[in-house]
Amino acid sequence: MIQKVFSSLLVILVCQQVGFSAGLELTPRDKRRIESGVIDAFETIISLWKRDRFDEIYEYGDKISRETISKETFISRTRGCVLASSWETVRDIEVEIVSLDHAYLKAKMGFASPSDEWGDTIFVIKIFEMILEKGEWRIDLRELCEFGTGGFRGGGRRRP
């Protein structure tokens, strides 16, 4: 847990340092285009997740993560991780642009509780690395797999 917190903080610091120290000068139009593309890709992934379309989510993985993790392993690790319903699924999305083809997306995500004694929703703030490959924004699949192995399994069924 502590290692994940430090990793997230390191990513934020790297984003700030790389974005500003590299002299990245983007026009407001470029920023809007990149932010919109990153958010659209992420929202598509979340939409597929809600419909249990993990095989399709896999196709949104960046090249390195698809070479590192098989489709079967990805599906088995994420399948039992149930997103919360409606407005609790994803909130507070922010995009930090590193370059024209590299950004980080920070989001507060809600997951169905694996047990009634925990309450209805578990919230997690997560930073995802997004890479533009062949004109499409891609996500590191290994970051999505962390949810499946991090204790957020909801039993595979959505709550009514």
Structure-model confidence comparison of residues 14 and 81, the more confident one: 81
Domain assignment present for residue 70? The answer is yes
Distance CA(62)–CA(49), nearest Å, equals 17
**Token representation of residue 38:** 């990153």
Q: pLDDT tens digits, residue range 9-68? A: 444 444 444 443 345 688 899 999 999 999 999 999 989 988 889 999 999 999 999 999
pLDDT grade, residue 84 (50/70/90)?
A: confident
Mapping DSSP to helix (H, G, I), strand (E, B) and coil, where does residue 133 land?
A: strand
Dihedrals phi, psi of 103, to nearest 5 degrees? -150, 165
Q: How many domains does the chain have?
A: 1
154 by DSSP, 3-state: which? Answer: coil
Of residues 87, 85, 151, the one with CA closest to residue 115 = 151
Report the alpha-carbon distance of residue 43 to residue 93 in Å, rounded: 10
pLDDT band at 104 (very low <50, low <70, confident <90, very high): very high
Per-residue pLDDT, 6: 44
Residue 135 has pLDDT above 90, yes or no: yes
Residue 5 confidence (pLDDT): 41
Please state the φ and ψ torsions of residue 131, each to the nearest 5 degrees. Answer: -125, 135
Q: Round the CA-based radius of gyration of the chain to a whole number and report it.
A: 16
- Looking only at the bridges linking them, the beta strands covering 136-139 and 90-99 are unpaired
Give the CATH number of the domain where residue 106 resides. 3.10.450.100
Q: What is the pLDDT of residue 64?
A: 94
Residue with tokens 């995009």: 95
Here the tokens at position 117 are 């004694």
Indicate whether 158 belongs to any domain: no
The sign of the torsion formed by the CA atoms of 141, 144, 87, 30 equals negative
Q: What's the confidence (pLDDT) of residue 60? A: 94
Q: Is residue 30 part of a domain?
A: yes
> Residue 154 domain-assigned?
no
157 in a domain, yes or no? Answer: no
- pLDDT tens digits along 111-127: 776 665 556 777 888 89
Domain region containing 90: 2-149
pLDDT at 23: 54
Mean pLDDT value of segment 73-77? 88
Q: What average pLDDT is seen over the chain?
A: 77
Residues 6+ apart with CB under 8 A from 14: none
